[in-house]
Amino acid sequence: MKHAYWERVVYYSTKGLKAIAIVFVVAIVTYIVFPYREGYLATNYKVPITIYDRNGMVLMEITGDKKGLSQYVDMKGVPSEFIELLLFSEDRNFYHHWGISIKGIARSLYQNLKEMRIVSGGSTITQQLIKSKKEIIHNTVISKLAEIIEAIRLECHFSKQEILQAYLNEIYLGNNIYGFEKAALVYFDKHLSQCDLLEQAFLISMVKAPEKYNPYQNPDTIVKLARMLLDRASQSYLKLTPMQKDAYRNKKIHLQYSENNVCAPLFCLYALSKARELFPNKDITKIYTTLDAPLYKDILAIVRNSLSILKDKNALHASMVIIDNKTMEIIAMIGSIDFFDYGKGQIDATLIKKQAASTMKPFAYALALDKGIFHTSSILPDVYTQFYSKVGNYIPKNFSQSYHGPVRLAKALGCSYNIPAVYVTSKIGIVPFYNFLRSIGFDSINRSPSFYGLGMVLGNAEVTLMELANAYTIFPRGGIYSQANAIQKVVDASGKEYVVSPRKGITVLKPSTCYLISHILSEYKYKVEAFGLHSAIHFPFPFAAKTGTSKDFKDNFVAGYNSKITCAAWVGNLYNETLDNLPAVSGAGIVLKNVLVNLWDKGFSFENFTNAEKEIKSIKICLLSGLPATSWCPQTEYELYALYNLPKGLCNWHSHGKTTVPAEYAGWAAKKHYNVSQKSDIRIVFPKNGAAFKIDTTIRKSLQAIPLRVASTQKEIWWFVDGHCIGKGCEIVWQLQQGNHVICAQADKHKDYVNIVVLE
C-alpha cells in the first residue's frame, strides 16, 4: 500500500511540475511576442533636451531619460571601421544570433563556477543595451535570466540596425556620459567620425568597465587595452600596413581635461529636475536657465584655485551658490569643482544635507529683535550655563572654550559666541524658532522641534547649502522670503514656450530688523575681538557675512550678502573625513573672499546697506552695560536700534569711578576686579516666577527634572520646596511633581521665592 501511495505522489507531482513548466513557457512566449510601445528605442535620445544659460549660451545637451551627458549620432555618421572594431570586441556574432550567445553564456557560466562568484556576463550587444535601458548595475541569477528573455524579445521586434543604433547612443562610458559621440566630444574634443583608430579603440575598451577604466584616472591602462584590441583585430580581419601599426603603437592619446563641451553640468541636472517638477506632463526640448555662464566659469576657476591651497588641510571639495536678490534667480551654482572627478565629482554638494553650524545664528537673533525680546545692546550672559531639556541638561560651550561675561547682543552675534546664542533661543522658544526656520525654506529640518532642541541655533540640524543661501536672502530683501528659481522658461516639442513667473514672496521679518542684522554682520567692529584684524571676512567693501564650523572640523560654511547678491559656500570632504583643524573663517571664508574680491576688481558694485531712516535710531551707549551712557561710562559708542525697541533707563553699572556688575557675573567680575551688585545677596535665576512645566507621560518621571539655579555672592545656598529642604548648592536638580509649588533659596538671612506650577 505504501509503495502505491508514493507512486501516486510521484505521478501527480510530475504532472504538476509539467503543468507549471508549460504555464511558465507560455507566459514567457506571450511576453516575448508582446510588442513594445512605439518608438521604444528611438524617442528618448533622438530629441535631446538643450539647456541654455540666461544669455542663450548652450550649457549642455542631455537625454530625456538619462540624467547624464549625451549627443545623438546617426549610424550614417559613424565610420564603418568603428562598427567593425566594436563588433569584433563586443559581439562578433551580432548579425547571426537572436539576442544571446550560447557560447558566451557557457563560457561565463564556466568562469563564474570556477571563481564561485559572478565575474563574467557573456553579454551580447543586445544584452548590454537591455542593461543600459533597465539600468541594471549588479548581475544576479534572476537579473541575468530577465536580461536573456528581454534580449530575445528585443530581437523579435527590432532590426539589427535599430538595436545597434540605440546601442551607440545608450551605452554608458563613464563620467556620466552616454553614447560614443558624446564620449568622443568630451574626451577628445572631436566628433566620433573624426577619431583615429587608436581613439576609437580607446572608447570601445571602456565599455566593459567604464568606472574602473576611467580615462581621467587610468589613461595609460585604457591605451594599453586599446592597443591590445587593435593587435587582435589586425591578426583577424583588420588589414594594417606596418606603418599604420607603428602609428597606433607609438601614438599618444591627448585627453581633454576641461569641460569643453559642457558647462555647469550639475546645475543643468538641477534645472532639469526643477523643469520636470514645474511641467511634469510636457515634452520639454529646451530649458532656458537663470545661470550666468561667464560668471560661473570665472567663479569655478577661483574656487578651484582657492581649494588647491587648502588641500593640505584635507579640504578636497567645495560648492557655492549665488542668488540675485532682486529677481531671486540663481546666477551661479557650483556643485563640485570637477564634474569628471572619478571620486565625488558628480555629487552636487549644494544639495547634500550638512550641519551648517554658526551660520544659523543670525536667524535666532533676527527673530528675537523682531519680537522685541531683546534690542541690539541687550546684555546676554556668556557664562557657564545649563539649559533644561526633557532629555537632560544642555551645557553649550564657546568655540574658544572660554567665557566673556556680560556681552551685548550685537557683539555676541558678530563674535559668534555660542552660549549667548543658545540663551537667546531659549527666550524665543524652541517651537517658534523651529517654525521660523521652516517658514524660510529649511525643508530639511523635518524632525520634531524637541529632536533638535536648543542646538538648532548652533546648526545641529542638517540643511543644504541651497537652503542656506535661499534663507539668507531675507536680510537684503527687507524680510521677504521667496524661493530661488533656476529656470526662466521652457520650450516643448511643438515649440510652445512656458515662462516661469517669479514666485510670490511672504513677509517674515520687519525691514528694520533686517537692516540691524545686516549692520551687525557687515561692521567689522563687532567681529574683531573673535576674528582679529586680518580675518578673511573683513572685506574692503560693504558685505555682511557669517561663518560656521561644524563639530570636529567636518564642514566649513559661510553665508553672506550685499544689496545685490546673496552667496553661500561650503568647504569640506565628501569622504566624510574631518578637516585638519580648519575653521570656516580660514577655509570657506577664504573661498568667499577670493570670489568677492574678483567681482570687485571687475567693477561689480558693492553698495552700502540702506534703511528707512524713520525706523532706525542711533543712541550713545555704555559698551559694558549696553544701556544709554552717562558721564561715568569709560567706554562708549553709538548703537543702532529699531524705534519700537529702544533701551530703557541709563547705565547704572558705572558710578563715581567704580564698576558694579550684576551678581550672576560674579566669577567674571572677580577677574576684571569689578564690584558685584549687593542689592540682593540672593536671586533665583531659574525657574522664573510664574513658570509652568508639564510632565510628559511618555517619559519616565525619574528623568523629568529641572535645574534650580541662583545668582548670589553667598557660598552656601539652601533650597526649599513647599517648606521642605531638598538640598544645597548654587545649582541643584529637582524632580518635577504635579501641583503648585513655592521654591525658596536661602543664604544666611537672605531669601528669594518663586511660584511655579507643574501640570500632568
- Spatial contact of 360 and 452, defined as CB atoms under 8 Å apart: no
pLDDT of residue 7: 72
pLDDT tens-place string over residues 543-552:
999 999 998 8
What's the CATH code of the domain at 753? 2.60.40.10
Q: Which of 131-140, 304-313, 688-697 has the least mean pLDDT?
A: 131-140
Among 250, 268, 288, identify where a domain stops. Answer: 250
Asked, for residue 174, whether it belongs to a domain, the answer is yes
Instruction: DSSP letter for 387, please.
Output: B
- Global confidence as pTM: 0.76
Q: What is the DSSP string of 529-560?
A: HHH-TT-TT--SS--EEEEEE-GGG-EEEEEE
16 and 153 both lie in a single domain: no
Higher pLDDT, 697 or 575: 575
pLDDT at 693 over 70: yes
The span from the CA of 342 to the CA of 336, in Å, is 12
Range 523-552 average pLDDT:
93
pLDDT band at 568 (very low <50, low <70, confident <90, very high): very high
Q: Which residues pair with 286 in a beta bridge?
A: 50, 491
Asked, for residue 519, whether it belongs to a domain, the answer is no
- Exposed, middle or buried: residue 257 (CB in 10 Å: 0-12, 13-18, 19+)? exposed
142 and 196 both lie in a single domain: yes
- Spatial contact of 745 and 754, defined as CB atoms under 8 Å apart: no
Of 382, 408, 371, 372, whose CA–CA distance to 651 is shortest?
Answer: 408
Q: Residue 518: helix, strand or coil by DSSP?
A: helix
Q: According to the per-residue pLDDT averaged within each range, which of 17-26, 140-149, 569-578, 653-662 is highest?
A: 569-578
Q: What is the DSSP string of 645-693?
A: S---S---SEETTEEEE-GGGHHHHHHHT-EE--S-SEEEEESPTT-EE
The span from the CA of 598 to the CA of 87, in Å, is 52
Domain interval for residue 626: 613-676
pLDDT tens-place string over residues 601-643:
999 989 888 876 678 999 999 999 999 999 999 999 999 999 9
Asked, for residue 163, whether it belongs to a domain, the answer is yes
Strands 718-721 and 682-686: unpaired
Sheet holding 675-676, edge to edge: 654-655, 658-661, 675-676
Residue position matching grid coordinates 559642457: 262
The span from the CA of 715 to the CA of 727, in Å, is 14
pLDDT band at 97 (very low <50, low <70, confident <90, very high): confident
pLDDT tens-place string over residues 430-470:
999 999 999 999 999 999 998 999 999 999 999 999 999 99
pLDDT of residue 674: 84
pLDDT of residue 189: 87
pLDDT of residue 43: 46
pLDDT of residue 580: 93
85 and 233 both lie in a single domain: yes
- Spatial contact of 175 and 186, defined as CB atoms under 8 Å apart: yes
* Cα dihedral value 45, 46, 51, 55, nearest 10: 170
Q: What is the mean pLDDT of the chain?
A: 87
Query: Helices 511-522 and 361-370: crossing angle, nearest 10°?
Result: 140
671 and 711 both lie in a single domain: no
Q: Which amino acid, 294?
A: P
Asked, for residue 9, whether it belongs to a domain, the answer is yes
Range 298-310 average pLDDT:
95
Instruction: DSSP letter for 607, please.
Output: P
Kindly state the helix (H) or strand (E) to which residue 741 belongs, with its residue range: strand 739-747
The span from the CA of 294 to the CA of 53, in Å, is 9
pLDDT tens-place string over residues 13-57:
787 778 887 877 777 777 777 777 776 776 445 567 899 999 999
pLDDT of residue 259: 55
pLDDT at 689 over 90: no
Strand ranges inside 114-233, DSSP E = 177-178
pLDDT band at 104 (very low <50, low <70, confident <90, very high): low
What's the CATH code of the domain at 78? 1.10.3810.10
pLDDT tens-place string over residues 469-484:
999 999 999 999 999 9
Asked, for residue 576, whether it belongs to a domain, the answer is no
Asked, for residue 638, whether it belongs to a domain, the answer is yes
pLDDT of residue 351: 97
pLDDT tens-place string over residues 665-683:
877 887 887 877 765 568 8
pLDDT at 116 over 70: no
109 and 184 both lie in a single domain: yes
Residue position matching grid coordinates 550638512: 354
660 and 689 both lie in a single domain: no
Q: According to the per-residue pLDDT averaged within each range, which of 315-319, 394-398, 710-714 is highest?
A: 315-319
As for how many domains the chain has, the answer is 4
Asked, for residue 388, whether it belongs to a domain, the answer is no
Query: Helices 430-439 and 418-428: crossing angle, nearest 10°?
Result: 90
Which residues are CB-neighbours of 393 under 8 A, at least 6 positions away? 386, 387, 707, 733
Among 624, 643, 676, identify where a domain stops. Answer: 676
Residue position matching grid coordinates 569643482: 337
pLDDT of residue 119: 46
647 and 687 both lie in a single domain: no
The span from the CA of 250 to the CA of 234, in Å, is 16
pLDDT of residue 322: 98
99 and 169 both lie in a single domain: yes
10 and 150 both lie in a single domain: no
Among 211, 227, 250, identify where a domain stops. Answer: 250
pLDDT of residue 110: 59
651 and 689 both lie in a single domain: no
Higher pLDDT, 111 or 58: 58
pLDDT at 202 over 70: yes
Q: Where are the alpha helices (DSSP H) in 357-497?
A: 361-370, 409-414, 418-428, 430-439, 449-452, 465-472
212 and 79 both lie in a single domain: yes
- Exposed, middle or buried: residue 124 (CB in 10 Å: 0-12, 13-18, 19+)? buried
pLDDT of residue 312: 92
Range 707-736 average pLDDT:
84
pLDDT at 115 over 70: no
The span from the CA of 392 to the CA of 53, in Å, is 52
Residue position matching grid coordinates 528581454: 150
pLDDT tens-place string over residues 35-46:
777 767 764 455
Range 527-540 average pLDDT:
91
81 and 120 both lie in a single domain: yes
Compute the C-alpha angle 637/639/644, nearest 5°.
150
Range 379-387 average pLDDT:
88
Asked, for residue 88, whether it belongs to a domain, the answer is yes
